[in-house]
């Protein structure tokens, strides 16, 4: 299927996507919405600042910028921290605090 974007005709959606530096789905969605002339111009949501999405986590007197940051500090998977904080109850949180204290006492 030929695609016309800002006056340039591409033989396929794939060719248009490659030339504009976007995903094929982006091109198809823009065509469906009648907005193909905006493809590749950066008017979408753009790159996300992934560091801004975490909520601060406080355990005892210690605080991290996010659950992921805490997991990285402890050297454990992020889903382990998430599960402990979401479903674990006081015992799981105490376990996290214990890990933090051991790490702090070791000077890390």
Q: Which residue has the tokens 């790159």?
A: 47
| Residue 62 and residue 100 share a domain | yes
| Residue 57 and residue 92 share a domain | yes
Range of the domain at 22: 3-38
Please give the model's pTM, rounded to 2 decimal places: 0.50
Lowest mean pLDDT segment, chosen from 15-19, 23-27, 41-45, 87-91: 41-45
Own/partner pairs, 84-93, CB within 8 angstroms, 24+ separation? 85/57, 93/59
Residues 34-66 as b/e (b if ≥16 CB within 10 A, e otherwise) read eebeebbeeeeeeeeeeeeeeeebebeeeebeb
| Residue 68 and residue 90 share a domain | yes
| Residue 92 and residue 56 share a domain | yes
The mean per-residue pLDDT over the stretch 80-89 comes to 88
Give how many domains the chain has, as a whole number. Answer: 2
The mean per-residue pLDDT over the stretch 48-65 comes to 76
The mean per-residue pLDDT over the stretch 49-53 comes to 55
C-beta of residue 3 within 8 angstroms of C-beta of residue 27: yes
């Amino acid at each position: 299927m030929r695609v016309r974007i800002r006056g340039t005709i591409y033989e396929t959606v794939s060719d248009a996507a490659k030339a504009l530096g976007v995903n094929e789905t982006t091109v198809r969605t823009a065509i469906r919405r009648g907005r193909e002339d905006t493809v590749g111009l950066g008017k979408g949501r753009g790159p996300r600042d992934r560091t801004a999405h975490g909520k601060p986590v406080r355990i005892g007197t210690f605080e991290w910028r996010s659950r992921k940051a805490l997991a990285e500090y402890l050297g454990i998977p992020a889903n382990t921290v998430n599960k402990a904080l979401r479903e674990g109850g006081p015992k799981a949180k105490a376990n996290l605090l214990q890990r933090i204290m051991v790490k702090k006492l070791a000077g890390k």
